[in-house]
Amino acid sequence: MQAFLAEHLPPDWQGIGALTREEAEAFTTQWRNVLRDNHYLATSWPAEYGGPGLTALEQVILAEEFARAGVPAGGTNDVFSIQMVGNTLLDWGTEDQKRHYIPRILSGEDIWCQGYSEPNAGSDLGNVGCRARLDGDEWVIDGQKIWTSAGHLANWIFVLTRTDPDVPKHKGITFLLCPMDQPGVEVRPIKMMSGDSEFNEVFFTNARCPKENIIGEVNGGWAVAMTLLGYERGEAAATFPLMFRIELDRLMALAKERGATDNPVIRQQLAECHTKVEIMRYLGLRSLTQFLAGHHPGPESGIFKNFWSEYHQAVTQLAVDILGADAMAPSGRWPTSSFQTDSPGAPNDSASWVGTSYNARAGTIYAGSSQVQRNIIGEMVLGLPKEPRGSDQPSWRDQQAARS
């Protein structure tokens, strides 16, 4: 792997964070092609579907080496294309679907985004109201999705749709695969507090997809949706502790640069951050041990998710405190992504830290909010009594009527 990186990266490579935004985008596109051509993309996929078929241990080593070198493990939308829908297709898809979609994901011909959340269905995802009905050989979709990350870069969307309103809410959902390049699909960008527009609203008006573009059974989409969420929340144990270590080292350098290490309160906070990154490393190792033993990430992945996302708000707030008044008028290079840390190699600019602190706010919301994760951990990991739920579940339609 070291030889591969040395061969394909420039000799003065410092990490993708050292590039400008335009350079980083161009590098990511070109790097994805290098990974694909060398069979380092979608590392868990079996060789029969075009993946490299690496063992679990090899996948972990590769992910760590990429993180250390400061290069992405795929393209911008691959978290949706490979990690989420690709993996889910391999679990649930028919042989025809796997043979059709998987190569197109690898080639980059199909670029996916995630159509789960709606204005009235976020934490309560089972409440989705985006409707789909069969019209001859096609599904017709009407409704709205929201917070669709990188939807403006995608040409396919996987959509949770309401196909039977007259049964309890989780039982009338169907998982559809919808092409976005059609008049019935409109993508409207949402402007974030950083000024960027990384996510969108997606409106479906008489949008259509073929009848066979369904994963799992009609009205059986909930189980498929949960499989996909397992993939969304897992897969971070190997790389996140490394990324947070690189980020904390950079913060230590900032604190020294600004003379903040003389301040006993700041010193104590930095020590606390160091302790938490170490704890995260051990939490990661525990998840990796389970992964290497063949277990898919289950409800306990919420423990790691809550720990890193809450830590990240604290560490970036500390950075803002160290910057002091400079954080009010940030300058320099802003982070290139709204997710997790700024990229390895990023300069110690105030804009990098302020932007990352904005982005850290989102960490306790996406992929399941902290409160909801705590409910899951309480009920499914610790075995605490469940929240009261009515024994007679009303239909989705009756529930809507009662709410309005």
Positions marked active-site: 232
Residue 279: φ, ψ to 5°: -60, -40
Least spacing, CB of residue 363 vs ligand FAD, in Å: 8
CB-based contacts of 389, cutoff 8 Å, min separation 6: none
**Residue entry with tokens 């092609």:** 33
Centroid of chain to Cα 86? 14
8 A C-beta contact, residue 18 and residue 345 = yes
Centroid of chain to Cα 355? 18
Of 205, 211, 200, the C-alpha closest to 182 is: 205
Least spacing, CB of residue 368 vs ligand FAD, in Å: 6
Least spacing, CB of residue 149 vs ligand FAD, in Å: 3
Of all residues in the shown chain, the one whose CB is closest to ligand FAD is 122
Q: Which is nearer to ligand FAD, 56 or 223 (CB)?
A: 223
Of 13, 2, 49, the C-alpha closest to 345 is: 13
DSSP 378: I
CA distance 404 to 391: 22
Least spacing, CB of residue 110 vs ligand FAD, in Å: 16
β-partners of residue 115 are 159
Q: Which is nearer to ligand FAD, 147 or 240 (CB)?
A: 147
Q: Which is nearer to ligand FAD, 10 or 388 (CB)?
A: 388
Least spacing, CB of residue 67 vs ligand FAD, in Å: 21
Q: Which is nearer to ligand FAD, 337 or 350 (CB)?
A: 337
Q: Which is nearer to ligand FAD, 8 or 152 (CB)?
A: 152
Q: Which residues bind ligand FAD (CB under 6 A)?
A: 114-117, 122-123, 147-149, 199, 338, 362, 365-366, 369, 371-372, 375
Residues in the chain: 404
CA distance 342 to 336: 7
Kindly give the pairing relationship between strand 199-210 and strand 131-135.
unpaired
Q: Which is nearer to ligand FAD, 59 or 301 (CB)?
A: 301
8 A C-beta contact, residue 139 and residue 172 = no
Of 279, 267, 275, 292, the C-alpha closest to 240 is: 279
Amino acid at 217: E
